[in-house]
Structure 1
Amino acid sequence: MSTKSSDGSAVRRQPVGVTCTVSVPRNAAGDLETGVRDKLGGADGVDGVDDVDLQGIRPGLNDLTVTVSASLSVDDAADVAARLEERFGVSEVEVELRTGPP
């Protein structure tokens, strides 16, 4: 799958799998999965969050910390872990490149 970049050239979306820890505020809109999707989908270069599997939840005073396995569509898989970890509340990111659909 590809889209057009701002300069008109084609950008190929790459599927990746990630395992990470995400902190979601208790007062976030929607449910826990929506909070995780918002955090991951808001990172630079993430075009979409295709699948989310919540694997473990640790309650905190102001947030819920969730261990997550997710399938993402990104524009460049080379530095996706660093871009995700730039998001507040996203840590311990491990990336698995995929050659086909999740």
Structure 2
Amino acid sequence: MPHRIIIQRYRGDGPVGPVYWPPGPPAPALVSETVRTVRDRTGAEVTSTAQIVAAPGLDCPPQSRITLPSGRVTTAIHVAAHTAPGLPVPESTEVFCQ
């Protein structure tokens, strides 16, 4: 994975807005900053301006803050774990960002 991202995991909502855990160590990933239409956790169609492919088990709940290699800070819209037991394809985690 040629890129590194930094994730501040979403912890919940506090009295003044979202609360995040401290940033984790840089995580290896493949980042594509392209515009796509995806569905968020409620099922609504939203625009994703960055997509991330990372190792399976990436700890990045929806609404987490992510710093991309370009320095842009974005928010995770949807996280999908891709597994294929018994098939000769790699497992991965895909994150769609605002």
TM-score under structure 2 normalisation?
0.35
In proportion to residue count, which structure has more helix? 1
RCO higher in structure (CA 8 A, sep ≥6): 1
